[in-house]
Chains A and B, each alone.
Chain A
Amino acid sequence: MGYRIGFDIGSTTIKAVVLDENNQICYKSYERHKAQVRQKALDKLVELKKYTKEPFKFAISGSGALGLSEQGELPFVQEVFASATGVSKLYPGTDCAIELGGEDAKILFFQGSVEQRMNSTCAGGTGAFIDQMATLLNMSLEEMNEASLNYHRLYPIASRCGVFAKTDIQPLINQGVDKCDLCASIFQAVVDQTITSLAQGRKIEGNILFLGGPLYFMSGLRNRFVETLKLSDVQVNCPDTAINFVALGTAICADQEYTYDELYKALEDLVHAPAKLTESKPLFESEEDYQKFIERHKSHDAKYADLKNYAGKAYLGIDSGSTTTKLVLLDENDAILYDSYTSNKGNPLDVVLGDLKKIYETNPNIKIYGSYATGYGEELMRHAFHLDGGIVETMAHYTAARSFNPEVDYILDIGGQDIKCFKIRDGHIDDIVLNEACSSGCGSFIETFAKSLGYDAKEFATLGLKSKHPVDLGTRCTVFMNSGVKQAQKNGASIEDISAGLCKSVVKNALYKVIRAKNKDDIGKHIVVQGGTFQNDSVLRCFEQELGLEVIRPSIAPLMGAYGAALYAKKLHRTRSNILNYEQLVKFTHKSQSVACQGCNNHCSLTINTFNDGTRLVAGNKCEKMVHNLDTKKEELPDLYKIKTDMLNAQKKKFKHDKKIGMPLVLNNYDLLPFWTRFFDSLGYEIVWSTPSTKEMYHSGQQSIPSDTACFPAKVVHGHIQQLIDKGVDVIFYPCMTYNVDEHQSDNHYNCPLVAYYPEVIAANMDFDKTKIVYPFINFDHDATFAKAIRMHFEKVGIHFSEKDIIIAKNAATNEYEAFHEQLVKEHRKAVAYARENNHPIIVLCGRPYHLDPLINHQMNQLLTQLGFVVVSEESVPRQKNHKVNVLNQWTYHARLYQAAHYVVENKDMNLIQLVSFGCGIDAITSDEVRDILKDGNKFYTQIKIDEIDNLGAAKIRLRSLKEAIGQQKGV
């Protein structure tokens, strides 16, 4: 057999393997290609000349190779197929191979029929994700790996997609969690992600082969896999060829013969081949255009003054953001004495400490009269440095923007991780839009991407200005952008075009995904843009192009939050600031320690920061228990979520019988619990309900989830069923219900497809052991068919009910259900009366019945009562007259939302917050309609998207801003 060459060109790297006549590897390599795919492939061939004998066989593989193969008619081998061939030839005893690449995750099963799986469009890249995290932590990959080996505890980090995980990690970094723990937790997230999204119910067992760069280079990551899958050392193998395994497999598969010259010519032609480009406008038509643009934006400069000899009062503002810390010191005329913009590098406290020292060192006599903090790390900053106060981000930014243009009616801030938009009407913040977990990562994404392509962030951004044909990379999440870049690379786009394309994506993402602008009038006439990302001229230009408007970018765009906080400090604080002085700063130290809270069953992960003066700050908590002294009695505000939970708990215990039936407390059962308890009571059975969801419970059922893009409330069902199975219940009852209870407030009374049919998914995907599941199709509208379905399906598991008894039970249950609902309405009226008596604002926290689950709602209700709101739910809203809506109103639960919206419009002291579970397709329709109803009634619309991620940071800002806005509105 002759020589064989295999190339594997991935999203960021090129791998090559040469096999000699004896099937031995005589060459292998692994290098980054910096998006220069074609040239690099040619260079590689030249390098390989001395290792090969002609004629040789050749093939290429990998996502970056598709274009080459199509345009140059080179033989292509699908990458997973290449790995599979390699494994079966070289490691025949393998049961399962796990391969993580730059952006792909793959699992190959070899037991029985060969099965090959790749991550779906949503699951996010793994290698790229770790790279991103490394940048975030300012550590090299080796350092991360080292650190991970010394971890003490793991923090839960969302495992579904890299973007979510990042949002989870950021607050941990801000809280000062130990880096070793962070690194291990990040690896654990990768492992969980691989298992949920790829294994999908199939068990990973037997002999495991680890392949791909991340697994090869990082023993810490392998450890996480080994521990999670409970593998022994003999079961695991990570061969030397792990990083170039696809190339090796490709070489094995290669069967087209080439001479060196033939292949050289083919590759050379590709380097010179004209790239396939999509038509798009360049950012600037000419150099002159560019100069004009630069001149125009120069006019929005801030004033500066000399710090060293300044003797007047000074005001400090700190904006502690997710990835960067911004600090501004102002004089009495709002001129900047000192400013800084620094990457957190994992520790924002050190950053501020350094800045403050520098200020005192430059001017030891500086008289600071006010110091305020804003942003994610506000609390930490306030406590650490004894600042005078904190201000909601939204207010800080508005204060700053107004100083540049008093007429400002729209502020758009794109930071490292957040997009924030505020609409201003009559001098008040009228609408706030924040990006949801899904579209985040925008600003820092450009930076990380630049680095992964081997460029410095600034240099990369300037490249975009020269682009002639910016590529279109789409507007969804960053994971898709990665794929978009692959596509562009495949089409041979230049690095300039990719850079400009990324900037365009960031802009479009903000406009269409977050703000959802329809036309420019929607946004405003006096737009101020800010945030670190707008420092990039390409982004700014793309934004103006996309809107067809000229906007204001203050020269201090990235510092606006801090600038606003300083202005705020000036306005509010008239005496000397409490901020630490130089001597105190020199002594300043802090320690962070993580513990699990024992205050309640949530066992939140708490981070306790201890400072050298003995003060402590606890972060990560959901409630105030551990933070405030327990003896300060706080007024407990009425909360319908809590009240209903108590009512359900009482209902669960209401009926006792020896005979039991298990039911999962999930989805529509949160609504129907009173019905089913009474129904089975009448038939002589007691229901064993699954307990409220916990993370552990969710994980216990995770392996059997077939569709990882389903909503979290549905995915959590697997854990509940698993719990019932583990408890050993004989029979689980979980009916399919196309139709819901008819409340006569909508055109039809469907359930959504997931609520209606999830029992089918459960029955098809879970192992029940001895437990039997009964899941008839039932409809409350018709007694006879209802009774027949129940009877027949229970007969199958040996339980006999007569149809007559079933109908009697149904009637009793219906009364029970209605009485329960009436009680809820009564409680609602009581809560509203209390609020009015004591002058508290009221929030109608809308969602679905299952948003009562504390794991699903992230205890948003508690957060609201802590902010001083009385909380009621959409379920408890008294029946309204039927309103016509502009959409087909055909789901019972969703009709309740429209009712609640109309109700809020009619009540002056109420506002509405809609909880939307990520992936809920139906809420794409309801949220628009609810928003319209509220808009017409001059009310704020606030939507909070929730998923499995456990990060209340963004939600807190929104809720605080809402409170501020409501207060302002009242003040008019």
Chain B
Amino acid sequence: MSLEYTLFNSDMKKDYTILVPSMLPIHFRLLTPVFAKSGYKLEVLTNEGEQVREEGLAHVHNDTCYPALLVIGQMIDALKSGKYDMDHVACAITQTAGGCRASNYLSLLRKALAMEGWQHIPCLSANANGLEKGSSVEFTMPLILRILYGALYGDALMWLSNQVKPYELEKGATDKAVNQFIDELIPMFEHGSYKQSKRIYKKMLEMFKAIPQDRTQIKIRIGIVGEIYMKYSPLGNQHLEDYLIEEGFEPVLSGVMDFALYCVENSIIDYEYYHMHEKNHYIYNIVKDVIMRMQKTFRDIVKKDGTFIAPDDFSEVIDNGKAFIDPGVKMGEGWLLTGEVVSLIKSDVTNVISAQPFGCLPNHIVAKGMVRKIKDEYPKANIVAIDYDPSASKVNQENRIRLMLANAKLSEEMKASI
């Protein structure tokens, strides 16, 4: 007996509310306006807490990776809240189509909905590989562009916010300013005038510079890498960025567009290695070029201004990865994770936390598997892998992070004493 489920057809667009699990707090605020213009009514979920985990545990095989548990738990919990018209609600989830379990989240979500007798709730797949035809987001060119800009602005805001928030004089000032800025961005997406990126970046810089800061004591920068959901999602990593800031450190996270570039680069490598995508491989090169140029706009402005540290050039991240792991390793975060760790260390962020779901398969290779090689090359590297799962208690994770932070402080003091 195969599982019954409902497809999402384009007629549903106008009166269905589509639920999206939370992940990137800043970026995802732009999702609703970005998709509204294409006629999708998106709602990004904000529910957190014990019941999200409980629903996940009850609906998903407990040995499945933690992000699946949280994402699906969050959906079920939201659907049970009574806030939604159950005949006009849908769920959206991403599929990467890689050799990792994450591609199966959609099937797991459908199974979970069926468990509650909600087969009539359609699930929408967001993927770029032509999976789930008939129930996936239709990526039109204008929508793709809006997503691109939304993600780039989100990356820029996240990047700068992490450099300001640890130094803010008035607690909450940075978050407030970021929120205000997003409020101003939203109408632009609604009017379709989101492309004046140079002007927007400059304004953004001014906004961050205007936040009162105390920079007398420079804080140690801590890099966060990891499985994409655990790296960014506060629900997943127990608000790791905030925790680091509270403990007196400055978190460093590369933008989500790097992950997109990583996916594009993989297709290019697939062609180079195995002659896959023979017909359209050149498109990937163009896409890569375009995105990298867009990133460069922001990088150049930050560099020219000189107040803040600019993000890494992605082509360097690629090269940094190559020195340690073959770019053919493309499941999960693949070579990107290794590349990010090395890039961080090279830009003097020697302390790195790798956030990963307990038992994450690719991480055995690209994170824990590469630590020794990286340390042999960079003895100063202080890398800690933190496993997150529904039961690993917070105190255990905190303790490991604390140890790592104590090490970071120690080596900083030693540096100072020389």
Cα A714 to Cα B363 with chains together (Å): 13
Asked if A118 and B3 make an inter-chain contact with CB atoms under 8 angstroms apart, the answer reads no
Q: Looking at the complex, which one of B107, B365, B396, B402 makes contact with A760 (CB distance below 8 Å)?
A: B365
Q: Chain A's nearest CB lies how many Å from the CB of B194?
A: 34
Q: A739: which B residues are within 8 A, CB to CB? A: 274
A201, A754, A888, A925: the one contacting B372 at CB < 8 Å is A201
A924–B393 CB distance below 8 A: no
Residues of A within 8 A of B411 (CB): 113
Is there an interface contact between A761 and B395, defined as CB atoms closer than 8 Å? no
Q: Which residues of B contact A114 (CB under 8 A)?
A: 407, 410
Asked if B43 is an interface residue, CB under 8 A from chain A, the answer is no
Question: Is A707 an interface residue, CB under 8 A from the partner?
Answer: yes
Residue among B1, B58, B99, B370 with most chain A CB within 10 A: B99
Which residues of chain A have C-beta atoms less than 8 A from B410's C-beta?
Answer: 81, 84, 114
- List of B residues within 8 angstroms of A921 by Cβ: 63-65, 101, 359-361
B399 engages A63 (CB within 8 Å):
yes
Distance in Å: Cβ of A517 to nearest Cβ of chain B: 8
A706 to B3, CA, bound (A): 40
A714 to B305, CA, bound (A): 50
With an 8 Å Cβ cutoff, the count of chain B residues facing the other chain is 77
| CB-contacts of B257-296 with A (<8 A) | 273-276
Is the CB of A743 closer than 8 A to any CB of chain B?
A: no
A890 at the interface (CB under 8 A from B): yes
Does A710 make an interface contact (CB < 8 A)?
yes
The smallest beta-carbon distance between A512 and chain B, in angstroms, is: 5
- Is B231 located at the chain interface by the 8 A CB criterion? no
Binds A, one of B149-157, B184-192, B214-222, B384-392: B384-392
Q: Which A residue sits closest to B114, measured CB to CB? A: A886
> Does chain B have a CB within 8 A of A138?
no
Contacts of A777 in B (CB 8 A): 273, 326, 328
* A753 touching B403 in the complex, CB below 8 Å, given contacts A738-B99, A764-B324, A924-B101: no
Interface residues of A in 386-444 (CB under 8 A from B): none
- Chain A min CB distance to B59 (Å): 7
Known contacts A63-B399, A921-B359: A512-B62 contact under CB 8 Å: yes
What are the residues of chain A within 8 A of B101 when measuring CB–CB? 921-922, 924-925
Q: Which residues of the other chain, B, contact A756 by a CB distance below 8 angstroms? A: 99, 329, 331
Does B170 have its Cβ within 8 Å of any Cβ on chain A?
no
The answer to whether A602 has its CB under 8 Å from any CB of chain B is: no
Q: How far is the CA of A891 from the CA of B101 in the complex (A)?
A: 10
Q: Which of B57, B328, B391 contacts A484 (CB 8 A)?
A: B391
User: Can you list, as one digit per residue, whether each of A737-756 has a CB less than 8 Å from chain B (1) or not (0)?
Assistant: 01100000000101111101
Residues of B within 8 A of A888 (CB): 95, 103-104, 106-107, 131
Q: Are A781 and B364 in contact (CB under 8 A)?
A: no
Q: Check B399–A118 contact: CB distance below 8 A.
A: yes
By beta carbon, the residue of chain B nearest A922 is B101
A927 to B61, Cβ gap below 8 A?
yes
- Measured CB to CB, the nearest residue on chain A to B357 is A921
Given A78-B403, A757-B329, A764-B369, are A785 and B107 also a contact pair (CB < 8 Å)?
A: no
Residues in chain A near residue B111, CB distance under 8 A: 886, 928
Task: Say if the beta carbon of A486 comes within 8 Å of chain B.
Answer: yes
Flag the segment in A93-101, A474-482, A534-542, A685-693 that touches B.
A474-482
Residue interface mask A867-903, B partner, CB < 8 A = 1: 0000000000000000011111011000000000000
User: Which one of B110, B274, B405 lies within 8 Å of A779 (CB-CB)?
Assistant: B274
Query: Which chain B residues lie closer than 8 Å to A486 at the CB level?
Result: 393, 395-396
Among residues 141 to 155 in chain B, which have CB atoms less than 8 Å away from a CB atom of chain A? none
Interface check B223, CB cutoff 8 A: no
Contact assessment for B110 and A751 in the assembled complex, using a CB-CB cutoff below 8 Å = no
Partner of A483, one of B363, B373, B387, B396: B396
Please tell me if A765 contacts chain B, counting CB pairs below 8 Å: yes
Instruction: Compute the total of residue contacts between A and B using a CB distance below 8 Å.
Output: 215
Contact between chains at B399 and A66 (CB < 8 Å):
yes
Residues of B within 8 A of A710 (CB): 364
Interface size bracket, A side: 35 or more
Q: Which chain B residues lie closer than 8 Å to A922 at the CB level? A: 101, 361
Cα separation A924 to B393 with both chains bound (whole Å): 22
- Of residues 86 through 133 on chain B, the ones whose CB sits less than 8 Å from some CB of chain A are 95, 97-101, 103-104, 106-108, 110-111, 115, 131
B103 touches A890 (CB 8 A): yes
Q: Judging by beta carbons under 8 Å apart, are A118 and B2 in contact?
A: no
CB-based contact A518/B99 at 8 Å:
no
Q: Which residue of A lies closest to B106 (CB)?
A: A888
Identify which of B65, B358, B390 contacts A709 (C-beta below 8 A): B358
Determine if B1 and A112 form an interchain contact, defined as CB atoms under 8 angstroms apart. no
Chain B residue at minimal CB-CB distance from A764: B373
- Tell me whether B373 and A66 are in contact (CB under 8 A): no
Residues of B within 8 A of A113 (CB): 379-380, 411
Minimum Cβ distance to chain B for residue A882 (Å): 13
- CB of A244 closer than 8 Å to a CB of B: no
On chain B, the residues within 8 Å of A518 by CB distance are 58-59, 115
Closest to A253 in B: B406
Contact flag A758-B64 (CB < 8 Å), given A483-B392, A753-B100: no
Complex formed: what's the CA distance from A113 to B58 in Å? 45
B406: which of A78, A748, A750, A919 is its contact (CB, 8 Å)? A78
| Chain A: minimal CB distance from B237 (Å) | 14
- Contact yes or no, B57 A754, CB < 8 A: no
Closest to B274 in A: A779
Given A512-B57, A754-B361, A757-B365: A278 touches B403 (CB 8 Å cut-off):
no
Beyond A475-B62, A760-B326: 19 further Cβ-contacts under 8 Å? Answer: A78-B406, A80-B403, A114-B407, A118-B399, A487-B394, A707-B363, A707-B364, A750-B331, A752-B361, A753-B361, A756-B99, A757-B329, A760-B329, A884-B2, A886-B3, A888-B103, A890-B97, A922-B361, A936-B1
Sort A-B residue pairs by CB-CB distance and give the 9 closest, nearest first. A474-B391, A750-B99, A777-B328, A924-B63, A476-B391, A707-B368, A81-B406, A761-B369, A779-B274
20 A-B pairs with C-beta separation under 8 A:
A66-B395, A80-B406, A81-B406, A121-B397, A474-B391, A474-B393, A480-B392, A483-B393, A486-B393, A486-B396, A738-B330, A739-B274, A753-B99, A756-B329, A781-B276, A782-B275, A789-B273, A922-B101, A924-B101, A925-B107
B contact residues vs A (CB 8 Å cutoff): 1-3, 50, 57-59, 61-65, 95, 97-101, 103-104, 106-108, 110-111, 115, 131, 273-276, 324-326, 328-332, 358-366, 368-373, 379-380, 385, 387, 389-400, 402-403, 405-407, 410-411
